[in-house]
Amino acid sequence: MTWEPDDRDENELQPSYAMREYLAEIYRLQEDSPTVSTTALAERLNVSAPAIPRMLRRLQSAGYVERVPYYGSQLTELGRQEALREIRRHRILEVFLVKLMGFTWDEAHEHSEVMGRGLNEAISERMAQMTNHPTRCPHGEPIPDVNGVLPEVNDICIMNLGVGQKGAVSRVRTHEPEKLQYFAKLGLVPGADFEIVGRAPFNGPMRLRVGRDDNVVLGAELTKSLWVSRAEE
């Protein structure tokens, strides 16, 4: 899949930052569900519920979103392309902030949201060059390439694994600063090796060995955010 120009009006080819932000969030939500409700979108974007239908009508009129009666909204192919553009810009900016500007990974998302409003394609690609064309953001999420193709990611939520299984952290799927700080304190960052050494029943706390520390304990809420690649058997 490549990003091809079309014959639409020039203004339609330049969605506002707010439109791009909505498209990117719909894409992220669609990773877990084929359609997205207005409630889920309002919660993720932290905006009032009445504002969501207005923006969805704009996105639908521009050809980025389509309604699925009784279920919610989903991206069209055009919307998916625009969402991936925005996700690429956002994640490259996060890498730039961490690698070259010295921000921590728990600061990167918020700063990227603010700075991303003025980020164009030329600046984004220069940042990609300066950070050696990254394929993952600081949290481990894949970065689409210039053609809109996502690198293959083969991982699983750690809550689906059992005692004795080993692997490496692939992604930490939260933007909450406190959680990211705690994961960093435990050493559970992308690339870190782990082994599950204990687990309480009924989805209780999980005990891990991370490096030399075999007493790292995660509650159920945190395990939902930790995605890992399993070691080969």
pLDDT in tens, the chain (233 residues): 334 434 444 444 578 889 999 999 999 999 889 999 999 999 988 888 888 999 999 999 999 999 999 899 999 999 999 999 999 999 999 999 999 999 999 999 999 999 988 888 899 999 999 999 999 999 999 999 999 999 889 999 999 999 999 999 999 999 999 999 999 999 999 999 999 999 998 888 999 999 887 789 999 999 999 999 998 75
Residue-number span of the structural domain to which 160 is assigned? 156-230
Amino acid 50: pLDDT = 84
CA dist 34 and 10 (Å) reads 30
CATH of the domain at 190: 2.30.30.90
DSSP tag of 116: G
Q: Is 139 within a domain?
A: no
The structure's pTM equals 0.86
Last residue of one domain, picked from the residues 61, 80, 99:
80
- pLDDT of res. 233: 54
Within-domain flag for 160 = yes
Predicted pLDDT at 119: 87
Say which CATH number the domain at 45 has.
1.10.10.10
Domain count, the chain: 2
Domain presence at residue 102:
no
Long-range pairs of 2-11 with CB within 8 A, sequence gap ≥ 24:
2/147, 2/148, 3/81, 3/85, 3/147, 3/148, 6/78, 8/63
What's the first-to-final CA gap in the chain, in angstroms? 34
